[in-house]
Amino acid sequence: MFIIFLMTGNKKIRVPRAEFDYKGRPCSIISVGGYVPEKILTNAELEKRVNTSDEWITTRTGIKERRIAAKDEFTSDLATKAALKAIERGNIKPEEIDLIIVATITPDMPFPATACLVQEKIGAKRAAAFDLEAACSGFIYGLEVGQQFIISRTFETVLVIGAEKLSSIVDWEDRNTCVLFGDGAGAAILRHRENSHGLLTACMGSDGGKSNLIVMPAGGSKNPATIETVNSRLHYLKMEGRETFKNAVTAMYTAANEALRRCNLDVSQIKCIIPHQANKRIIEAVRQRLGASESQFFVNLQKYGNTSAASVAIALDEVVQSGKINRGDLIMLLAFGAGLTWAAAIIEW
């Protein structure tokens, strides 16, 4: 493996290149599930909380409403509901699950892992469990990590979940961020299958040099919780939106191209592209650069806003349930988030 540097505009993105035969990985996504909380928060309601407007939010982001979890509904609860749907559709028993990976930036608590709480709630008594933190790219990272355990024959059945209660870390006084995010969860079950369809490649990257762009400054070892950190509102998500926007377009475009190159595919061969649902303008810019058609891109951000690690997982569930995808179709997952992290995966469904 070696590293190439791709120049896009004035941005430089590192992409790990690999020359493997990606066909015939013995791992399938056998089922998916999704869950969003019942409570809907509309742009009109946000107009009453901060100095914003439905017009600004719609034209700048495409978001019309988002879901907000109940006070007593935690990330593990959202994850559990999505997981149970995937388990039912996959026609498996929770005891058959060997590993649970929960991708999240809003765990119920810093520890124990939310994955352990989900394990108990779904009754997956045999499973190992851990959380994975790659922000909005977390679900795609999780799929690839889960698949690696299956390819190595360490595990037979892996449950991967992207789940977030972002409403718990959003600063409801900051109009720059509070209009963007929502809560929800999506899940996928991976299983060993010889000569199966599955994840053909996952092209992942990160740039810690830009870790300051999206950050929750306090609550970790750097700034443990104190009265001062609370008063300074350091336990909320902070984001430099414009800079994040530019990096998101470049990174997702570059990762998508590399994933296509690895699989020797042209973008026109992809039936459905499922991007991270952060902003319709980001999605549109990536679509245009890739030369893909509007009908290839799946967008549901108008209903849910940005649900970080849950975003691609919820969208994948909606695409599959809509019947739009048939076995053998090619799907591309694309994401970008805090870290910075990014990922592009191609699935043969």
* Tokens linked to 193: 């299958």
- Report in angstroms how near the CB of residue 269 gets to ligand ACO at its nearest: 27
- Report in angstroms how near the CB of residue 174 gets to ligand ACO at its nearest: 9
Q: Which is nearer to ligand ACO, 24 or 220 (CB)?
A: 220
Annotated active-site residue 223? The verdict is no
Contact residues for 319 (Cβ-Cβ < 8 A; gap 6+): 272, 274, 298, 325, 331
Q: Which helix (DSSP H) or strand (DSSP E) does residue 48 occupy?
A: helix 43-49
Beta bridge partners of 202: 345
Amino acid at 13: I
- Report in angstroms how near the CB of residue 167 gets to ligand ACO at its nearest: 13
Taking the CA atoms of 27, 32, 36 and 42 in sequence, report the sign of the dihedral they define.
positive
Number of residues written out for the chain = 349
Distance of CA 207 to the CA centre of its chain: 17
Establish how many alpha carbons lie within 13 A of residue 239's alpha carbon, considering only the half-sphere containing its beta carbon.
25
DSSP for residue 253? H
Q: Which residues bind ligand ACO (CB under 6 A)?
A: 52, 56-57, 60-61, 135-136, 175-176, 179, 214, 241-242, 244-245, 248, 278-279, 282, 306, 308, 336-338
Angle between helices 75-90 and 114-122 (to 10 degrees): 50
Annotated active-site residue 192? The verdict is no
Contact residues for 231 (Cβ-Cβ < 8 A; gap 6+): none
Q: Which is nearer to ligand ACO, 53 or 148 (CB)?
A: 53
Q: Looking at 43, 247, 279, 306, which residue is catalytic?
A: 306
Q: Among all residues, whose Cβ is closest to ligand ACO?
A: 241
Q: How many other C-beta atoms can be found within 10 angstroms of the C-beta atom of residue 331?
A: 23
- Report in angstroms how near the CB of residue 81 gets to ligand ACO at its nearest: 21
- Report in angstroms how near the CB of residue 107 gets to ligand ACO at its nearest: 14
65-68/330-337 β-pairing: unpaired
* Tokens linked to 112: 């124990």
- Report in angstroms how near the CB of residue 270 gets to ligand ACO at its nearest: 22
By three-state DSSP, how is residue 337 classified?
A: strand
By three-state DSSP, how is residue 195 classified?
A: coil
Q: Looking at 27, 116, 136, 263, which residue is catalytic?
A: 136
* Tokens linked to 115: 């994955």
Cα distances from 315 to residues 100, 312, 335, 345, in angstroms, run 20, 5, 12, 14
- Report in angstroms how near the CB of residue 135 gets to ligand ACO at its nearest: 4
Q: Which is nearer to ligand ACO, 29 or 334 (CB)?
A: 334
Q: Which is nearer to ligand ACO, 185 or 325 (CB)?
A: 185
Q: Looking at 192, 263, 276, 279, which residue is catalytic?
A: 276
Annotated active-site residue 27? The verdict is no
Q: Would you please indicate which residues are annotated as catalytic (active-site) residues?
A: 136, 276, 306
